[in-house]
Amino acid sequence: MNSSKTLDAPGTGTKERHPVQRLKNIYKFAVTIYFKFNEHNGFLLAAGIAFFTFLSLFPILILVGIALGYFLESPALREQIIAYVFKSLPSLTDTIRTTIEQAVQDTINKLIAHRPSAGVIALIGLIWSATGLFGGLGVALNAVYEVKETRNIIIQRLIALGVFLLIMLLLLISFGATSVASVFRDQVLNLFFPRQVVTFAWTFLSYAIGFISTLLLFLTVYRFVPNVKLKFKDVWLGTLVAGFASEVVKYGFAVYIHMFASKSYGVVYGSLATIVLLMFWLNISAMLLLIGAEINVAYRKQKMGGVKIFEPRKSSQSHI
């Protein structure tokens, strides 16, 4: 195959050792991502993901709280973990965040207190609603990889549940790392280092933990959700780009809301401003996730010489 007709991804090939050629390759790679994103109706897919995420957000939080209720004896610790999740939503003002958080906490406490009477049906309903998000993600990512869904609905939901449990584990690890780092800061660093040094180190560590958690989240979704045989080496580039961009957007969006949007959106949308801002942020995050997937596709195709190399996972050949 003529190598001049294949796409050169950043970091590969012999010609791109020259800085100018490297910039040209990066530009061509970015243009390819842009056109493929539009070809796959990325804006429409992102809107769908944002909608499913919004509908699944509170069932997921309630499920997390119920699951934690089985393993944690301390209600205070469970509430701290739920609060930790809410802090990652930059579009919520402090007042709205407190109100919604309290409503979720009350629901969790009631379900835990009436665990036997709540029954299996309510739990199954919550799981079905929560895993609906990953079904929507699967449809969108399959469109990016240009493969059809060959897994039946039960298998899809089981995979979604597995991904949900992995993400919940990542949440616990992130919260645990933050808590341990906080204790280390208070008990050790403050005793031996100036306050300015401790503040800088803590800020850096907080960002690092958040960034690593975001990378692991994207890696999990890219690796397991689409109906494609993939290895971790096939998704690392999109994970890195989407994860970094997501963190930048999250903090930038928080600054934007604090300085501008909280007032202007309130005038236009009134009491619905928080919901509009949350949907806007979810939509941007979904676009970044899809762009990361497009990067993974383009990068792997380049490595394989431009040929189509994506195959659906093995299944029982039951099509939906």
pLDDT above 90 coverage of the chain, percent? 15
Q: Is 231 a residue whose pLDDT tops 90?
A: no
Q: What token pair was written down for 105?
A: 């906490």
Q: Is 307 a residue whose pLDDT tops 60?
A: no
Residue 241 falls within a domain, yes or no? Answer: yes
> In this structure, what are the phi and psi dihedrals at residue 263, rounded to the nearest 5 degrees?
-90, -50
**Domain of 140, in residue numbers:** 40-303
Q: What token pair was written down for 165?
A: 């449990």
Give the mean pLDDT of 259-287.
75
Residue 310 falls within a domain, yes or no? Answer: no
pLDDT band at 317 (very low <50, low <70, confident <90, very high): very low
Report pLDDT for 252: 82
- Lowest mean pLDDT segment, chosen from 46-60, 173-187, 194-208, 245-259: 173-187
Q: Is 294 a residue whose pLDDT tops 90?
A: yes
Q: Is 148 a residue whose pLDDT tops 90?
A: no
Whether the CB-CB separation of 218 and 285 falls below 8 Å is answered with: no
Give the highest mean pLDDT range of 52-56, 92-96, 161-165, 259-263: 52-56
Compute and round to an integer the Cα radius of gyration of the chain. Answer: 22
Label each residue of 186-251 as H, E or C.
Answer: HHHHHHHCCHHHHHHHHHHHHHHHHHHHHHHHHHHHHHHCCCCCCCHHHCHHHHHHHHHHHHHHHH
171-202 pLDDT, tens digit per residue, is: 777 767 777 767 666 666 666 777 777 777 77
Contacts of 255 (CB under 8 A, 6+ apart): none
Distance of alpha carbon 1 from the chain centroid: 37
pLDDT: which is higher, 53 or 284: 284
Q: What is the mean pLDDT of the chain?
A: 76
Whether the CB-CB separation of 112 and 265 falls below 8 Å is answered with: no
Give the mean pLDDT of 215-230.
88
Residue 13 falls within a domain, yes or no? Answer: no
**Which residue type, as a one-letter code, is found at position 118?**
A
Q: What gap in Å lies between CA 39 and CA 294, rounded to an integer?
A: 11
Q: How does DSSP assign the chain, residue by residue?
A: --GGGS---TT-SSGGGSHHHHHHHHHHHHHHHHHHHHHTTHHHHHHHHHHHHHHHHHHHHHHHHHHHHHH-S-HHHHHHHHHHHHTT-TTS-HHHHHHHHHHHHHHHHHHHHTHHHHHHHHHHHHHHHHHHHHHHHHHHHHHHHT----S-HHHHHHHHHHHHHHHHHHHHHHHHHHHHHHHHIIIIIHHHS-HHHHHHHHHHHHHHHHHHHHHHHHHHHHHHSSSS---GGGTHHHHHHHHHHHHHHHHHHHHHIIIIIHHHHHHHHGGGHHHHHHHHHHHHHHHHHHHHHHHHHHHHHHHTTT-----PPP--S---
Give the mean pLDDT of 146-165.
81
Residue 80 falls within a domain, yes or no? Answer: yes
101-145 pLDDT, tens digit per residue, is: 777 777 777 766 666 655 566 667 767 776 777 778 888 999 999
Q: Is 55 a residue whose pLDDT tops 60?
A: yes
Residue 5 falls within a domain, yes or no? Answer: no
Q: Is 6 a residue whose pLDDT tops 60?
A: no
Residue 318 falls within a domain, yes or no? Answer: no
pLDDT: which is higher, 38 or 87: 38
pLDDT band at 35 (very low <50, low <70, confident <90, very high): very high
Number of domains making up the chain: 1
Residue 31 falls within a domain, yes or no? Answer: no
Residue 311 falls within a domain, yes or no? Answer: no
